[in-house]
């Protein structure tokens, strides 16, 4: 269904929403973005997303041409103008139009674009029966080259991993870091359950500190579940009792096979199910 797209303070019909072909966001992936979810017309953890957007922009020396309050208002207006209750919002900021060269000093007018649409990332059967994923050969960006905590418009690292996973028949794929440790999936964070404890890679593994990831960690601690952010190997994944992924679009989705190896009994586990239900209640509260 066509939507109304926000660009620099105005709304445009989807077919009329345009930015310059000389924008460095298009030419070089020079910009940042956030993906947000709304439930009942309310954005989930809006302030946390704005924090991360501003941190990403600061990390690449990009000045966002509006205040945080103005950005939050524009996001809410995008939901209202598109009559979206439960949906997905993509807010992005580009470096602006410039020359055919890398120099960011030769750009002007950073572009703020907000797109709000309904979304269903995975069919219901994946939440009921679980995903099968594979470990791909594409290594997660080295944090000293491009820190994965920056949500930049250049997602080629993730896209190449996604392509490898799709060619193997999997809609999601697990990425390792430069040390061969478990990092994250192409668009989601990963959790394991082992001996009733919840395990997940720490940010030192070179991962994006997901908003949904943090919410699930909080919910697990409230439920009295031991949570450990630590170094994980593929061996830890293969021998886990349960496995699940978290993400803004995916929410909480169970994984029942990794690299053709059955996880636990091959069915979504009880702790996964409990945390999925707790997250749904939190998001809609």
Helix, strand, coil tally for the chain in percent (to 5): 30, 30, 40
Query: How confident is the model at residue 200, as a pLDDT?
Result: 98
Q: Is 244 helix (H, G, I), strand (E, B) or coil?
A: strand
Same domain for 80 and 151, yes or no, is no
Query: Which pLDDT does position 142 carry in this prediction?
Result: 95
pLDDT tens digits, 87-128: 999 999 999 999 999 999 999 999 999 999 998 778 999 999
27 has a pLDDT exceeding 80 = yes
Average pLDDT over residues 44-66: 98
Q: Which pLDDT value is given to residue 119?
A: 81
Q: 42 lies in which domain range? A: 4-117
94: Cβ–Cβ under 8 A, 6 or more apart, which residues? 19, 23, 24, 25, 26, 30, 31, 110, 111, 113, 153
pLDDT of residue 210: 96
Calculate mean pLDDT across residues 245-254.
Answer: 96
Q: Does residue 154 sit in the same domain as residue 273?
A: yes
Mark whether 231 and 183 lie in a shared domain: yes
Q: What is the pLDDT of residue 262?
A: 98
List pLDDT tens digits, range 259-270.
Answer: 999 999 999 999
Residue 170 sits in a domain whose CATH number is 3.20.10.10
Catalytic residue among 151, 221, 234, 267: 151
151 is catalytic: yes
Q: Are residues 258 and 134 in the same domain?
A: yes
- Same-domain pairing of 142 and 262: yes
Rounded average pLDDT over 16-21: 97
Domains in the chain: how many in total? 2
pTM: 0.95
Per-residue pLDDT at 250 exceeds 90: yes
256 and 225 co-located in one domain: yes
Q: Do residues 17 and 66 share a domain?
A: yes
Question: In this structure, are 179 and 231 located in the same domain?
Answer: yes
109: left (phi over 0), alpha (psi -120 to 50) or beta: left
């Amino acid at each position: 269904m066509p939507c109304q797209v926000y660009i620099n303070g105005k709304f445009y019909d989807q077919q009329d929403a345009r930015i310059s072909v000389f924008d460095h966001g298009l030419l070089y992936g020079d910009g940042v973005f956030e993906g947000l979810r709304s439930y009942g017309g309310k954005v989930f953890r809006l302030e946390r997303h704005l924090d991360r957007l501003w941190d990403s922009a600061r990390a690449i020396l990009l000045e966002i041409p509006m205040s945080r309050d103005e950005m939050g208002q524009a996001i809410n207006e995008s939901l209202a103008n598109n009559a979206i209750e439960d949906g997905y919002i993509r807010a992005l900021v580009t470096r602006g139009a410039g020359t055919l060269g890398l120099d960011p000093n030769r750009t002007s007018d950073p572009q703020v674009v907000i797109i709000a649409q309904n979304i269903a990332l995975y069919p219901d059967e994946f939440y009921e029966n679980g995903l099968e994923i594979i470990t791909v050969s594409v290594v997660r960006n080295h944090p000293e080259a491009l820190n994965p905590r920056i949500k930049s418009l250049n997602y080629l690292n993730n896209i190449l991993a996604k392509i490898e996973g799709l060619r193997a028949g999997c809609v999601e794929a697990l990425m390792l870091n430069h040390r061969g440790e478990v990092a994250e999936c192409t668009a989601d964070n990963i959790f394991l359950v082992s001996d009733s404890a919840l395990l997940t890679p720490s940010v030192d593994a070179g991962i994006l500190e997901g908003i949904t990831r943090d919410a699930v960690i909080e919910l697990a601690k409230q439920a009295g579940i031991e949570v450990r952010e630590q170094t994980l190997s593929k061996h830890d994944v293969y021998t886990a009792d349960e496995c699940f992924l978290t993400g803004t679009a995916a929410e909480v989705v169970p994984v029942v096979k990794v690299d053709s190896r059955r996880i636990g009994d091959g069915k979504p586990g009880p702790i996964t199910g409990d945390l999925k239900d707790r997250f749904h209640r939190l998001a809609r509260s």
